[in-house]
Amino acid sequence: MEEVSEMKAFPSLLCLTSDKPNITHDEQVRILIEEGATFIQIRSKKIPAHDLLEQVNTASLYALENKVTLIINDYLDLANRCNVSGVHLGKQDGSVSQARSVLGEQAIIGSTVHNFDEAKIVKQLGLSNYVGLGPYRSSKTKFDLNSFLTPEEIKRIVDFLNPIPVFLIGGIDLDQCSLISDFNLSGLAVCSSLSSAELYGDHVKRFINQIAEVSCVSI
């Protein structure tokens, strides 16, 4: 079994962009950085990779200028072509082994885990730098889910994956920041709740402060 030689330390708030009609992914990244985000994932479920390329290149410049960790969801080719920190792969998005081979040992590779069986595969491979674990509950970006993790399942998976950092995802709101300490998580992955109805990204600072209060960690 190959293993990541050393587990990286990550900020406790992973901010995810999404497909929005009035604001591009690179603009979302710019705003998130201005609001204090230091760990960001560009996540598009509708835009083809070739159409997303320019946005990712622009976003990567913002990230490099501000020493922010920027990850691309799904698109290994984009992660390889653009100056970003790595890629996040879901179950249907390709091989973690291939991603590690293509991107190299220094790249950050995240994996999605929905259940204990998938956690066992991630741990056996030993190639992922962090895990997105969920869904915790339904969200505005994934509202058609019919199966959620129980507290017992979350704890079992987090304990099993240790020392791989685990970020809980799925409908996370400001009032769930204490989940980090409840389940010994590395952090929370947040998308819709980063913003109010009026202004994109205006809840980022509140998440950062709330997480720091309940977990006594640096964001």
At 147 the pLDDT is 76
Q: State the pLDDT at residue 137.
A: 85
* pLDDT tens string 92-139: 778 999 999 999 999 999 999 999 999 999 999 999 999 999 999 866
pLDDT given at position 1: 47
In the chain the domains, ranked by start, together with CATH numbers, are 13-215 (3.20.20.70)
Which of 140, 212, 146, 154 minimizes the C-alpha distance to 178?
A: 212
Predicted confidence at residue 145, as pLDDT, reads 53
What is the mean predicted confidence (pLDDT) over 55-76? 98
Q: Give the per-residue pLDDT at 10.
A: 96
pLDDT tier for residue 90 given thresholds of 50, 70 and 90: confident
Q: Give pLDDT, residue 176.
A: 94
Whether the bond into 135 is cis, omega within 30 of 0: yes
Q: Is the pLDDT of residue 77 over 50?
A: yes
Long-range own/partner contacts, residues 74-82 (CB < 8 A, 24 or more apart): 74/43, 74/44, 75/49, 76/102, 76/103, 77/49, 78/49, 78/52, 78/53, 79/103, 79/107, 81/53, 82/53, 82/56, 82/57
**Which is more confidently placed, 90 or 5?**
90
Cβ neighbors of 196 (< 8 A, separation 6 or more) are 202, 203
Question: Quick one: average pLDDT of 210-219?
Answer: 74
Q: Taking 70 as the threshold, does the pLDDT of residue 217 lie above it? A: no
Instruction: Give me the pLDDT at residue 92, please.
Output: 76
Q: Which pLDDT does position 2 carry in this prediction?
A: 53
Mean pLDDT value across residues 3-22: 87
